[in-house]
């Protein structure tokens, strides 16, 4: 099984890496036949990545009993989202048959990534250095694509940059599993520069929270001195900010900051009020079961010219109702419980896990982590890999010791 997992892992990384880089290749910068075939190529990669995840999970179904309870919550969440999408598409005609396949894939691809990498972590199928090496290479390739795109087009806030940046940013917890301090510092500097290039206000908030949480818990594990615990992360934030100011032209960035009140968070406040009004006007059935699975929030918000609720919790209520929201809350509670277990064991991955939770807390309120799409796969992979490793009986996991729930 471990050999099979290694083959699946390599194939998955090949196609998933191709997909993430393809987001740039499908932009208007690249013309010709390749760009004109964007939709067909993208859908092909969607399906291949999804089938790889399904194949890997199917191979582990015989050992599904007796696993971590968090795994069952993730499986229930994915199953309910899929069923809801299919029911509304077929029985109620709320969705579009044409996009049914996309809805099923998008609604479950990230939870499926959690499930597969949970088993890989539990089996310790992939040596940690190899595992992290693949994702480090993917991070480097995506960073190069992003910088190349911006330097070629001078488009800081192009939607392609935005989409790619969040995919890149959610790789950060995986990168912070490295033990080498120089590597960690270089990673933060790289993400600092990319944050400035993206000119996303949410990205600045996320990066600041990531640096603070990482060095806060790192200091806590090494020293109980309250002065060190507080000052160290603030100093590291200052270093990264200095590097960003020194290397990047901040004129556009500052103009984005100046307009934060005028554009109401890029229109998010208007979206939230619109969605909240729709929730208040929902009937009991819609509140409990949602309005259409994957298409629920998207169909509604298209009325005001946007795609999605830009908030996990509002979007979940529209998509799958309070049942789906309850399953999502169960996953959050499970993640917090595993985080506390890691702290009690003084595991060196505590700072990286803290960063993942900080990113989740911010991005789930201004974007989406639970609502299905390929962008969020990296953080679900991180969670699955760590939780699986906590349940592993094999030596040499990323945790460095045996940790049981």
Residue 232 domain flag: yes
Q: What is the 3-state secondary structure (H, E, C) of 159-225?
A: HHHHHHHHHHHCCHHHHCCCCCHHHHHHHHHHHHHHHHHHCCHHHHHHHHHHHHHHHHHHHHHHCCC
Q: Could you report how far apart the first and last alpha carbons of the chain are, in Å?
A: 23
Tokens encoding 122: 């539990």
Interval 71-107: pLDDT, tens: 999 999 999 988 888 887 776 655 455 567 777 888 8
Q: 312-344 vs 69-90: helix axis angle to the nearest 10? A: 170
**Which residues span the domain enclosing 87?**
2-390
Residue 396 domain flag: no
Residue 347 domain flag: yes
Query: Across residues 139-146, what is the average pLDDT?
Result: 80
Task: Give the position of tokens 């290479």.
Answer: 137
Q: Which of 37-41, 92-96, 308-312, 355-359 has the highest mean pLDDT?
A: 355-359
CB distance 290 to 84 below 8 Å? yes
Residue 72 domain flag: yes
Q: Is the pLDDT of residue 153 over 80?
A: no
Interval 194-242: pLDDT, tens: 777 766 777 788 888 888 899 888 888 776 666 666 676 677 677 666 6
**Confidence class for position 29, pLDDT limits 50, 70, 90:** very low
Interval 338-350: pLDDT, tens: 999 999 888 889 9
Q: How many CB atoms lie within 10 A of CB 13?
A: 17
Residue 322 CA, chain-centre distance (Å), reads 22
Question: Total domain count for the chain?
Answer: 1
Mean of pLDDT over the chain: 79
Q: Is the pLDDT of residue 122 over 80?
A: yes
CB within 8 Å of 282: residues ≥ 6 apart = 291
CB distance 344 to 208 below 8 Å? no
What pLDDT is attached to residue 97? 56
What pLDDT is attached to residue 37? 44
Is the model's pTM score more than 0.85? Answer: yes
Lowest-pLDDT choice from 121-130, 135-144, 205-214, 259-268:
259-268
What pLDDT is attached to residue 152? 52
Task: Say if residue 327 is exposed, middle or buried (CB neighbours under 10 Å; 0-12, 13-18, 19+).
Answer: buried
Better-scored residue on pLDDT, 337 or 201:
337
Residue 77 domain flag: yes
Query: Across residues 14-36, what is the average pLDDT?
Result: 61
Q: How many CB atoms lie within 10 A of CB 356?
A: 27
What pLDDT is attached to residue 405? 35
Short-list 81, 77, 115, 82, CA closest to 327: 77
Residue 195 domain flag: yes
CB distance 287 to 323 below 8 Å? no
Query: Across residues 233-262, what is the average pLDDT?
Result: 60
Residue 249 domain flag: yes
What pLDDT is attached to residue 264? 47
Query: Across residues 148-171, what is the average pLDDT?
Result: 62
Residue 116 domain flag: yes
Query: Across residues 261-277, what is the average pLDDT?
Result: 71
């Amino acid at each position: 099984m471990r050999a099979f997992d290694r083959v699946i892992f390599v194939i998955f990384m090949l196609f998933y890496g191709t997909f993430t880089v393809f987001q740039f290749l499908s932009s208007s910068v690249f013309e010709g036949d390749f760009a004109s075939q964007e939709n067909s190529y993208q859908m092909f990669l969607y399906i291949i990545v999804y089938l790889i995840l399904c194949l890997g999970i199917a191979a582990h179904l015989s050992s599904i009993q007796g696993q971590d309870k968090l795994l069952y919550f993730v499986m229930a969440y994915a199953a309910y989202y899929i069923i809801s999408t299919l029911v509304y598409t077929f029985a109620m005609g709320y969705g579009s048959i044409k996009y049914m396949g996309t809805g099923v894939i998008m609604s479950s691809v990230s939870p499926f990534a959690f499930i597969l990498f949970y088993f890989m972590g539990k089996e310790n199928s992939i040596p940690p250095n190899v595992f992290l090496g693949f994702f480090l290479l993917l991070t480097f390739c995506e960073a190069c694509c992003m910088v190349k795109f911006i330097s070629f087009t001078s488009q800081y806030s192009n939607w392609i940059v935005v989409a790619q940046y969040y995919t890149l940013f959610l790789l950060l917890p995986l990168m912070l599993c490295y033990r080498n301090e120089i590597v960690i510092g270089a990673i933060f500097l790289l993400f600092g520069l990319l944050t400035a290039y993206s000119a996303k206000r949410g990205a600045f908030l996320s990066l600041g929270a990531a640096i603070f949480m990482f060095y806060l818990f790192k200091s806590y594990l090494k020293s109980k001195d309250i002065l060190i615990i507080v000052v160290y992360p603030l100093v590291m934030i200052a270093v990264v900010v200095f590097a960003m100011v020194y290397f990047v032209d901040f004129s556009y960035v500052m103009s984005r900051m100046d307009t934060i009140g005028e554009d109401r968070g890029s229109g998010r406040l208007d979206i939230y009020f619109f969605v909240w009004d729709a929730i208040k006007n929902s009937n009991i059935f819609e509140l409990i079961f949602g309005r259409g699975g994957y298409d629920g929030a998207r169909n509604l918000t298209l009325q005001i010219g946007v795609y999605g609720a830009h908030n996990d919790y509002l979007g979940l209520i529209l998509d799958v109702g309070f049942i789906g929201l309850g399953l999502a809350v169960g996953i959050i509670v499970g993640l917090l419980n595993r985080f506390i277990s890691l702290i009690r064991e003084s595991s060196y991955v505590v700072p990286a896990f803290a960063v993942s939770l900080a990113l989740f807390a911010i991005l789930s309120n201004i974007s989406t982590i639970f609502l299905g799409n390929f962008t969020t796969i990296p953080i679900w992979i991180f969670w699955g890999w760590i939780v699986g490793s906590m349940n592993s009986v094999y030596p040499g996991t990323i945790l460095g010791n045996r940790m049981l729930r």
